[in-house]
Structure 1
Amino acid sequence: MEEQDKHSTSATQEEEKADGQTVKEAEADETIEIIDSNEGNDTADKNEQVSELQSKVDALQKEKDELQQRVLRIQAEFDNYKKRTLKEKEADRKYKSQDLIQELLPALDNFERALQVEKTDENAGLIDGITMVYNQVKEAIVSQGVEEIDTVGEEFDPNLHHAVMQVEDEEKSSNTIVEELQKGYKLKDRVIRPAMVKVNK
């Protein structure tokens, strides 16, 4: 009887032990599932974070590229502005006397008309004085780079000459200037007044 009780107790203990192991195994399996689930969630979260960070990096890269292009455009515009300003300053220096010279040209024309008067004993002193002033004014404008435009005998050039009359002269070539009606002037390489001329057809 006692042996049966011992045997029964032993069997019960083994069953409880087996049941305990089964519970532990089930708990272990559940824990593993939770860990796997958490790892899956962590991976998904990490992927989402990586995706967000990549989006931010792409946005920053795009913004950087746009800013770089803008800087390059501004630099190019500034370089062009400097070149344009330098050219304008050079032109100002080169042609700084143009306005004054253009104001003096009518006076030179009048001096030349006055000098066409026939010189006599009575007006010799006056003519000499006018000649002296005329030469001084002419030397002053020549020192600033002014030169007269060639006319008579030259081929007509619309950039240098202004034709106001035409004549027919078989002894002279066509499109040749036969007479100068008013002197023309250049300031260095710029025409400040074209010469008024008579041209052969």
Structure 2
Amino acid sequence: MEQEKNQTETIVEEQTTEEVNEQPESEVEQTEVTEELSEEQQKINALEQQVADLNSKLLRVHADYDNFRRRTKDEKEAAAKYRAQSLVEELLPVLDNFERALAVEPANEETKTLLQGMEMVYRQFQDGLQKEGLEVIESVGQTFDPHLHQAVMQVQEEGHEPNTVVEEFQKGYKLKDRVIRPSMVKVNG
């Protein structure tokens, strides 16, 4: 019996020793697992941050591209709308000279015929410019507008409202909605 008792004690001691030995191993394993999870979580957090940064950059690039596309479209539309501006600006002195030539009183029949031919060319010229969007700025009798008129003289005349255009020295023109040349005018002060 004693032998059985010794064997039982030995078995109990071995089991206790194994349990004691197992506990620290499981704690160590748990610590290692926790550290591995912590490292994995840090990697996940870092990757999530990278994804968020890349998404933010992508959204900014997309917004920049949309702005660029819209700006380019607007510039193309403006260029198409005002494509004739430089040509019209070069032709305005020609238009002025036509008007001056047509204002001359004919002295004889030959001069009348010449002026009639010039008048036909002038009308064709004017029609072509109007098709491109050229408009004459109305001045005489209008309220002075510094965006449309250039005041070269100021007078005090009875019968006219203050700040009203009294006389036009040179016609002003607009191309569509843009002023190409303001009217040179005399304004009642």
**TM-score, L = length of structure 1:** 0.89
Deviates more, 1:178-187 or 1:78-87: 78-87
Counterpart of 2:63? 76
Q: How does 1:90-101 map to 2 (within 5 A)?
A: 90-101=77-88
The correspondence of residues 114-193 of structure 1 with structure 2, limited to 5 A, is 114-121=101-108, 122-193=110-181
Aligned-partner Cα distance in 1 for 2:8–2:131: 119
For residues 34 and 170 of structure 1, the distance between their equivalents in structure 2, rounded to whole angstroms, comes to 119
Question: Which amino acid in structure 1 is aligned with residue 116 of structure 2?
Answer: D
Amino acid at match of 1:47: T
State the identity as a percent: 45
Name the CA distance, whole Å, in 2 between partners of 1:119 and 1:48. Answer: 108
For residue 197 of structure 1, what is the aligned residue in structure 2? 185
Paired position in structure 2 for 1:56:
43
One-letter identity of the residue aligned with 2:180: I
Aligned-partner Cα distance in 1 for 2:137–2:50: 60
Aligned equivalent of 1:4: none
The match for 2:12 is: 25
RMSD: 1.3
Q: CA deviation at 1:163?
A: 0.6
Instruction: Determine the C-alpha separation between the residues in 2 that align with 1:144 and 1:29.
Output: 105
Tell me how far apart the structure 2 counterparts of residues 193 and 62 of structure 1 sit (CA, whole Å): 58
Per-residue displacement from partner, 1:127-160 (whole Å, max 9, x unpaired)?
A: 2222222111111100111110000000000111
Q: Figure out how many residues of one structure are paired with residues of the other and give that number.
A: 188
Aligned partner of residue 131 in structure 1, secondary structure: helix
Identify the residue that residue 103 of structure 1 maps to in structure 2: 90
2 CA distance for matches of 1:182 and 1:33? 111
Give ranges in structure 1 of 5+ residues lacking alignment. Answer: 1-13
Q: How far apart are the structure 1 equivalents of 2:118 and 2:153?
A: 31
Amino acid at match of 2:143: E
Quick one: distance in 1 between partners of 2:107 and 2:133? 35
Q: Whole-Å Cα distance in 2 between the matches of residues 148 and 65 of structure 1?
A: 58
Q: Aligned equivalents of 2:107 and 2:117: distance in 1?
A: 14
Paired residue type of 2:100: R
Q: What's the TM-score, normalizing by structure 2?
A: 0.94
Tell me how far apart the structure 2 counterparts of residues 44 and 170 of structure 1 sit (CA, whole Å).
103
**Deviations 1:34-63, CA, capped at 9 Å, x for gaps:** 111111111111111111111111111111
Separation (CA, whole Å) in 2 of partners of 1:159 and 1:22: 113
Distance 2:171 2:48 in 1: 67
